Structure 1
């Protein structure tokens, strides 16, 4: 059973592209470990749900992790631009780029709206599984029929050649006796 976030346009046969996932900010400056600051940074990527316990207690100062709702339809960003302003004057004091890392992301099919594969491997589009993990793109019906007719013609030719050789062999045997 899977549980999905409900929305007004929720359809039972489609999986929501909005999924919860962990994002990490490696080597984040120490003063951004404050919960409010961290949630503001995470909001750029998706809707923040909560901060990792090790991050909240600053147990792992090398990386900050936040659990966010992320839309699979959006291209994952690998960095965010952080601008620091002076509280009194509002002037920009410094800015820098912060790297963003996503936990292992699954793929999302735009065609059937399911997580776990892409449109190029979608079974609904007629692709076939050949071996576990490998997908073969389906042939059109016309191509399949053409191949079937070709095989039938080859079999008929083999049968006709076999029939032609039989009488000759029998005739040769009768002459030799």
Structure 2
């Protein structure tokens, strides 16, 4: 079973390239551990939908998890660069945050070609 985005025009015999996935950001600095910051960082990977309860309640400070909507045909990043400006010195610091894909739906180009071939 694959989780898909709800669509009022859903056709079961047409394969979609859009899927829903869970990703995690480990070692996220504490000042980025709010929903708005997490959504902004996750938008570099896909469209953020929601954070999990532990992230929302800030009960797991070791990592932030977010559910995103992604295009399964696009190469997804392995890491995301975040910037932070020091209020006193105005010096911009950056850090690379690794993206861990907790669940990624499977997609096959050959399957969609077979479906297209049957329709024609």
- Report TM bin, short chain: 0.7 to 0.9
* Structure (1 or 2) with the greater helix fraction: 1
Q: Is the 8 A contact 1:4 1:16 kept in 2?
A: no
- Asked if 1:64 corresponds to 2:88, the answer is no
Q: 1:83 Cα deviation (Å)?
A: 1.6
SS at match of 2:13: coil
Q: In 2, distance between residues paired with 1:45 and 1:4? A: 16
Q: Is the 8 A contact 2:20 2:104 kept in 1?
A: no
Aligned to 1:44: 44
Q: Is the 8 A contact 2:49 2:67 kept in 1?
A: yes
Cα separation, partners in 2 of 1:11 and 1:92, compared to 1, 3 Å: farther
Unpaired segments of 5 or more residues in structure 2?
Answer: none
Cα separation, partners in 2 of 1:15 and 1:59, compared to 1, 3 Å: same
Q: 1:96 Cα deviation (Å)?
A: 1.1
Q: Is the 8 A contact 1:81 1:95 kept in 2?
A: yes
Q: 1:86 Cα deviation (Å)?
A: 5.5
Give me the TM-score of the superposition, normalised by structure 1.
0.55
User: Higher Cα Rg: structure 1 or 2?
Assistant: 1
Unpaired segments of 5 or more residues in structure 1?
Answer: 114-118, 126-177
- Asked if 1:104 corresponds to 2:103, the answer is yes
Cα separation, partners in 2 of 1:92 and 1:6, compared to 1, 3 Å: farther
Q: In 1, distance between residues paired with 2:110 and 2:39? A: 33
* Structure (1 or 2) with the greater strand fraction: 2
Q: Highest relative contact order (Cα 8 Å, sep 6+), 1 or 2? A: 2
